Amino acid sequence: MVNLYLVRHGIAAEREEYPEDGVRPLTSEGKRKTKQVAQQLFKLGLQFDLILSSPLVRARQTADILKAIGLSSQLEESTDLTPEGSIYSWLTWWEEWRNKGGSSLALVGHEPNLGEWTEILVWGEAKGNLLVKKAGVIGVQLPESGSPIGRSLLFWLTPPKFLL
Amino acid sequence: MVNLYLVRHGIAAEREEYPEDGVRPLTSEGKRKTKQVAQQLFKLGLQFDLILSSPLVRARQTADILKAIGLSSQLEESTDLTPEGSIYSWLTWWEEWRNKGGSSLALVGHEPNLGEWTEILVWGEAKGNLLVKKAGVIGVQLPESGSPIGRSLLFWLTPPKFLL
């Protein structure tokens, strides 16, 4: 199986302060809590071949924190992970990445996308019934061959408060 | 919402040693790890109005450990939680319990039942795509009125190794 970890960005500044959604940064509380989550993931022994991040500032800052803690040496951005992104476009990328031998990947992005992508991978359709908190983490095992849609296994879902 | 926690029993003796499945006890490693999980749940601030347990020895021992750590003062057994039990029979009991004001319940039982019950509550059907380890914990928010089938929210799923 191939392990996929989906991490929602941390607490970000309010929309009123930043008319352009893409530049909203993490608040200082958001940075602090995200760092605690990253440290806990590191303590639990997690390592990612690659962190793939939404280019939006609050996600990219979250991804930078994961990388700085030592969870991966590789970080790339993908527009598939923006709020407008599509799991089907990402899956094309992912199948290529898996075929090149990738085995542990972290995605950093947004809600409702991450929860819905998880539901599509595990149950084949999105009902919006996963609660994914800011800086929350999801773990899914994807199959080594064939489509992962409706064929993946959910092994982890945690809000940050149960990690700290 | 009403919080439901589903806890799988800890590591139990092999089937070969105990021809009667219902009397298989936890191993000493199973007791130790289950106690660690219980302590961690207590540290995270969890409290249950009631622990409802399968009467099978490995489940009842797990439930006894949860109670002894201080997670609840109330413990009952239910045959709905045996491997042959039915979620629909349990739901009749649960709706009555909820209507009497219950708000935080822990179930201690078996796989594949606990994972499938969770899938039925959250997505309306069981696909067997949740990985629930021994002494693993699931957290689901059920609605305060109406049927919870396909209308509940999954907020937590963790193997013990990510709790310890």
Task: Quote the pLDDT of residue A153.
Answer: 98
Q: Is the pLDDT of residue B133 over 80?
A: yes
Using the structure block, give the residue that is written with the tokens 């929602």. Answer: A8
Select from B111, B118, B125, B129 the residue whose CB has the most chain A CBs within 10 Å, as the one to mutate to test that interface.
Answer: B129
pLDDT tens per residue, range A113-162 = 999 999 999 999 999 999 999 999 999 999 988 899 999 999 999 999 99
Task: Quote the pLDDT of residue B19.
Answer: 85
User: What is the mean pLDDT of the segment spanning A43-49?
Assistant: 97
Q: Is A164 on the interface with B (CB under 8 A)?
A: no
User: What is the mean pLDDT of the segment spanning B92-105?
Assistant: 93
Interatomic CA distance for residues B19 and B16, integer angstroms: 6
User: What is the mean pLDDT of the segment spanning B109-134?
Assistant: 98
Q: Is the pLDDT of residue B164 over 80?
A: no
**Predicted confidence band of residue B16 (pLDDT cuts 50, 70, 90):** confident
In chain B, what are the domains? 2-162 (3.40.50.1240)
Mean pLDDT of chain A: 96
Interatomic CA distance for residues B75 and B88, integer angstroms: 21
Task: Quote the pLDDT of residue B15.
Answer: 87
Q: Outline where DSSP puts E strands in A46-160.
A: 50-53, 75-77, 104-109, 137-142, 153-158
Å from A19 to nearest chain B CA? 31
Task: Quote the pLDDT of residue B23.
Answer: 93
Angle formed at CA B63 by CA B62 and CA B65, multiple of 5 degrees: 65
Select from B131, B137, B147 the residue whose CB has the most chain A CBs within 10 Å, as the one to mutate to test that interface.
Answer: B131
Q: Is the pLDDT of residue A82 over 80?
A: yes
Q: Which two tokens stand for residue B7?
A: 């806890």
pLDDT tens per residue, range A16-45 = 889 899 999 999 999 999 999 999 999 999
Whether cis (ω within 30° of 0) applies to the bond prior to A112 is yes
What percent of chain B has pLDDT above 90? 90
Q: Is the pLDDT of residue A1 over 90?
A: no
Q: Is B116 on the interface with A (CB under 8 A)?
A: no
Task: Quote the pLDDT of residue A111.
Answer: 98
* Beta bridge partners of residue A154, listed in sequence order: A140, B130
User: What is the mean pLDDT of the segment spanning B9-31?
Assistant: 94
SS3 call for B155: strand
User: What is the mean pLDDT of the segment spanning B70-96?
Assistant: 97
User: What is the mean pLDDT of the segment spanning B13-31?
Assistant: 93
Q: Identify which has the larger pLDDT, B102 or A158.
A: A158
Q: Is the pLDDT of residue A164 over 80?
A: no
What percent of chain B has pLDDT above 70? 99
Task: Quote the pLDDT of residue B1.
Answer: 78
User: What is the mean pLDDT of the segment spanning B32-53?
Assistant: 97
Closest CA to B153 of A11, A157, A33, A162: A157
User: What is the mean pLDDT of the segment spanning B1-29?
Assistant: 94
Q: Is B42 on the interface with A (CB under 8 A)?
A: no
Q: Which chain B residue has its CA at the smallest distance from A130's CA?
A: B154
CB contact under 8 A, A157 and B153: no
Interatomic CA distance for residues A95 and A164, integer angstroms: 33
Q: Identify which has the larger pLDDT, A101 or B153.
A: B153
Name the residue facing B162 among A44, A119, A131 (closest C-beta).
A44
